[in-house]
Amino acid sequence: MVHVGIAGIGFMGVTHYKAMQLVTGGRVSAISSRDPAKRAGDWTAVKGNFGGSGGTHDLSGVTCHATFEDLLADDAVDLVDICLPSPTHRDRSIEALEAGRHVLVEKPIALSVADADRMIDAARANDRLLMVGHVLRFWPQWRFLKQALDDGRYGRLRALNLRRIIALPDWSATISDFAANGGPMIDLHIHDVDFLLYLLGRPRRVRAIGNVRDDRVEYVSAIYDYDDGPRVSCQSGAIATAARPFFQAFEACFERATVAFSTSTEPEGCSAEPRRSGAQRLTVYRSTDDGVGAEFPEFDDADGFAPQLQHAVDCVTQGTASPFIDAAQARESLEVVMLEDEAVRSGEPVDL
């Protein structure tokens, strides 16, 4: 049994705690939070851009620590799940690794490539696993897209568009503080960049335009050059109205099918039901000798958090590095995002 200690009971910490209830071979044995109400299981004040309130939880059987240092001193903890603000990722990860713990840290790995390198060096020096929570690699609809590309079921991928737009959250001062967290490029756009690298590898060049606010890129529209490969574009940013706090989508045009998916958090009275035609439901549009139509693949997993945490637990159990969320992959995703930021500011293509 892998004993997990969750550091930070905010939106992502609560999300990971709930997902861990679906994991086999691992359990949450400890948490850390400065808030006494959270240590008592009252997470009703926790909010996010999807998923509703944090709720209340019976934490009997879970050791509740007031500090991160106390969590590291808990000998029962094998894997520290760091769900703290991005500016803390470097130091907290290194401290946990040096304390002999394996680490799963939320994305981004860090706010600079140099900091990511320090974290990777610490993992290597202490012979511990360092994994980074790039959850799209486990999200069922995005996983379907990866499988379709790999097995060639729909022929060659000709074009791909990715979108991820949010409103500035009113539930997190840290996420809204671009100076502290690096801005939407590092905090938000990195989701799709990481998946793109997983799906197609590193592009040769990126062209990008965007909006800059408070010296941070708040919106980006990018085109990635894969030479003779598919035409790939992505739009991402924190510029939506508060009435639509979260939206993510992709559309992949294969030779014999178009695969589309989108999901969003909608205001009251604006429902996406009955979940048809690419809205809130993966749709495969196909043309055959018998005509045209659509298919709606179904998935056992509601999202990617439980599969990601299951994978992290399995890696610790087996003592093997992750082929999906290893820190070196997260470092490359951060590096590409930083170069893309340079393309926005310079107005010139940047070789990758």
Q: What is the CATH number of domain 137-303+336-351?
A: 3.30.360.10
pLDDT in tens, 127-179: 999 999 999 999 999 999 999 999 999 999 999 999 999 998 776 666 667 66
- Share the mean pLDDT of the chain: 93
pLDDT band (50, 70, 90) for residue 53: confident
Ranges of each domain in the chain: 2-134, 137-303+336-351
Supply the pTM of this predicted model.
0.94
Give the up-direction half-sphere exposure of residue 32: CA atoms within 13 A in the CB hemisphere. Answer: 20
Going along 228-275, which residue ranges are E strands?
A: 231-238, 246-254, 257-265
Strands 102-106 and 283-288, by their bridges, are unpaired
Pick the CATH number of 2-134 from 3.40.190.10, 3.30.1490.190, 3.40.50.720, 3.90.1640.30: 3.40.50.720
User: CB-based contacts of 158: which residues, under 8 Å, 6+ apart?
Assistant: 230, 231, 253, 254, 255
According to the model, what pLDDT value does residue 172 have?
62
- Provide the percentage of residues in the chain whose pLDDT is more than 70: 94
Tokens standing for residue 183: 């801005």
Asked whether the predicted pLDDT for residue 313 surpasses 80, the reply is yes
Burial grade of 145 (CB within 10 A; 0-12, 13-18, 19 or more)? buried
User: pLDDT digits over 81-139, tens only?
Assistant: 999 999 999 999 999 999 999 999 999 999 999 999 999 999 999 999 999 999 999 99
Is residue 42 over pLDDT 80? yes
Q: What is the DSSP letter of 64?
A: E
> 266 pLDDT exceeds 80?
no
Q: How far apart are CA 161 and CA 224, in angstroms?
A: 10
CB-count burial class (<10 Å; 0-12, 13-18, 19+) for 126: middle
